[in-house]
Amino acid sequence: MDRCKDCQICQTKCPTGAIMSDRFLLRAERCLVFHNERSLDHLFPDWIDPASHNCLIGYMLCQRFCPENKEFLEWYDGHETFSHEETSLFLEGASADRLPAVTQAKLKRLGMPDLLGVLPRNLGIFFGK
């Protein structure tokens, strides 16, 4: 957008350098979203600081601070709470058929049933495993 030309907020908030100042293209291979949503057999590269993670899926800091997104950030109201038992199942890598129906429904409401496979790795980052 033309309004982005003189703004560098998303660039300064991006912990991996995925947002370039010389072009309006994202270096996808450096973006946390790319790494958060890769299959479980892909480990996070050593150059990604574990403290950079703020989402199990996706990444929001570059979006949260963007002045253009200000009015849209409150649109999403999908919040779910997962119990200790549910979280333990995710960490174990439990398949969908091993999850209680209520847990499967939560994942579906969040649009995450197809991302179940990456939760053990991504939760592990949050818990320092």
- Residue spans of the domains in the chain: they are 1-76, 78-129
pLDDT of residue 102: 96
Low-confidence ranges of the chain (pLDDT < 70): 1, 24, 73-78, 129
CB 103 within 8 A of CB 82: yes
pLDDT of residue 5: 77
pLDDT of residue 76: 57
Q: Which residues pair with 26 in a beta bridge?
A: 19
pLDDT of residue 87: 92
Length of the chain: 129
The 10s digit of each residue's pLDDT in 80-111 is: 889 999 999 999 999 999 999 999 999 998 88
Q: Of 6, 4, 30, whose CA–CA distance to 19 is shortest?
A: 30
Q: Is the pTM of this model over 0.85?
A: no
